[in-house]
Each structure stands twice: as structure tokens, then as C-alpha cells.
Structure 1
Amino acid sequence: MLNKFSIIGVPPFTRKPQGCLQAESTSENMPPSDIEAITSVLHAYGTALKERNAKETVELYTSDGVIMPPHFSASAGTQALSETYERIFNSIQLTITFDIDEIVLMSPEWAFARTTAEGTKTMLQTQASEPHSNQELFILKKQDGSWKIARYAFSTMKPLVQNGIRRS
């Protein structure tokens, strides 16, 4: 585990994450500040989720950014991302903790981060809660000197059979 942060009120780390990986071919060219900047983007994403703030969430993406949630079509571009996050935040409240498992700098402009998120998801309409356990992949792009989320995909880590019910 490289870094842990919670979106239920624990402040982001202020120290450099230990053990972050860098791609062999580019490790000499990538300053530690890139790892720190990417970590900051991930912390900001967690804060925006906690606050259910679609505007701040979307601002972390490139203008052609894409979210690829399971069981839904991908949403690409600022408008589609805004609509998707509004729908999400109008439907659920997440009380989760993120772990940053890996950050790999692939080039001066591209990186990826692998994370996990565990906690509780509450359906706002019914107030029913259930365990939340996802694995995520962020692909980030450096634009105008700042790291942004270019692509984001996630999938559940819940068991295929839970409480005798087989999930699809």
C-alpha cells in the first residue's frame, strides 16, 4: 500500500508517497514532483466525491476525459462527465477510503494510477446502505503543466455470490 486517504474527512497526506513505481524507461526523466502532483489529483478527486461536487470532479479531467463505469456506457467530454457525475451524486453518497496502490509514470505526459476504494455506498432515495469495494484505474495526462484525469475505469471487488444472490 502506497498511500491511504479517506473521503469522510481525513485530510490528504502532505508527505510524499513511499514506494511509488516509475516505468523503467522513463524513471530518470520523471521528477518526484510528478508523483506528488498525481497524488494531489487523486486526493482532490476523493474530496470532490466526498462533497458530491460534480463541478470540482469534472475540473480534474481533461476536456476529452472519459469515465468508464461498469454496466453503463462510457461518458466522454466535459458535458457528458458533468451529466454523469450529477446523476451519480443525486443517487448515492459514498463513505469510502481510497488506497493508492501504484503510480506509474509512462512518459513526461502520461501516467497511470491503480487504486482501491472500500467503505459504504448509501442510496439517497431509500437510505439503504451496502458495502462498497472497488478497484480503479486512472490514466492521467499532463496538460499545460498540470496532471489531469484522462480516463477512469473501475469495477467492483464484491464477491460474485453475496447473501445467496449471484451478481451479474
Structure 2
Amino acid sequence: MKPSIRPSGEDAAASSARLEIEKALAQYEAALNASDTMAVAKMFVADAVFMAPNNPSAIGLDAIWKAYDGIFQTITFDTELTVEEVVQTAPEWAFVRTSSKGFVTVKATEQRVPDANHELFIFQRDASNQWKIARYSFATTNPLPH
């Protein structure tokens, strides 16, 4: 994962939150690339929402588990996240904008295709003071096929 650049004027508390969130994103990236449904699910709060293109929202950990399990049965990832910005909006809330680039391999055909997205995460501190994903949505940045 490529971390963000420290914003000028960032205070110690904001810097600490940014680094903790970036660590959580690195764990998410590793779990995604390992096709590890359990590790991915641990990155979300209990009432999280996952909004993938062309799919209904997956609401709550059971639905998120099922969504990622289905994804991992279909494709594998080799992707790298780049953190574009981290903005803490309250002591327990922050939003994060990332981009990603890499490849996915379609298991049925073993075809490896380029994958690029931009992502929006909303993070929340959970009861144990850990930053977890509360909302997550993404869209492709690959050009449309002709």
C-alpha cells in the first residue's frame, strides 16, 4: 500500500489517526489479495455497508461476509491501494479516498485482467478504539470497452 503524504499543519492527534487508518487499510489490502474472507470481515464494524457496483448494498457483517466470499470464489486480486486523502471529521469518524491498481484473475478462465478503481471508505472507531470500515464503495477507473 502506498500511504498518503502528511498534510501540512497536521497535528499529532490527526497524524496518529491517519497512521492508524492507513495501517487498517494495509491490513484490508493484504486480506483482499489473500482472498481471506474472515480477515476482510474483521476490518468492518458490525453494521457496516459495502456498496459494490452493479450489486445491492451488503448491510451488516453476514451480508458482507457473503459478498466477499462470492467475490473470492470468482476472482483473485493482485492490487495495491494508494491513499489519496484521510480526513478525520470527528473523534470516531473519518473518510478516506483511495485509488487502486493491479490485476484480477478470473478463476473460471484463469484470465488475468487489469483492474483499477477509486474508492471511498468511511471509517469508525469501534468499542475497542480500533478504526474499522463503516461504509465502503468503489467504482472502476478502467476505460469502457469499445
Work out whether the TM-score is over 0.5.
Answer: yes
**1:111 — aligned with what?**
94
Looking at structure 2, the residues matched to 21 and 150 of structure 1 have their Cα atoms a distance apart, in angstroms, of 27
Unaligned runs of 5+ in 1: 6-16
How does 1:36-55 map onto structure 2 within 5 Å? 36-55=19-38
Query: Which residue of structure 2 lines up, in the alignment, with residue 19 of structure 1?
Result: 6
Match runs of 1:91-102 below 5 Å: 91-102=74-85
How many percent of aligned residue pairs carry the same amino acid? Answer: 31
- CA-CA distance at 1:86 after TM superposition: 0.4
Query: What does residue range 82-161 of structure 1 map to in structure 2 within 5 Å?
Result: 82-144=65-127, 145-160=129-144
CA-atom RMSD, angstroms?
Answer: 1.9
Alpha-carbon separation, structure 1, partners of 2:132 and 2:7: 18
Task: Give a deviation string over 1:24-55, Cα, whole Å, max 9, x none.
Answer: xxx76944221111011100000101110001
Indicate the residue corresponding to 2:2 in structure 1: 4
How many residues of Structure 1 are paired with residues of Structure 2 in the alignment? Answer: 145
Deviation string 1:124-158 (CA, Å, 9 cap, x unpaired) is: 11101211010000000011211110000000001
The structure with the larger Rg is 1
Displaced runs of 4+ in structure 1, greater than 6 A? Answer: none
Aligned to 1:72: 55
Q: What secondary structure sits across from 1:126 in the alignment?
A: coil
Aligned counterparts of 1:114 and 1:32: Cα–Cα separation in 2 = 16
TM-score, normalising length from structure 1?
A: 0.80
Q: TM-score, normalised by structure 2?
A: 0.92
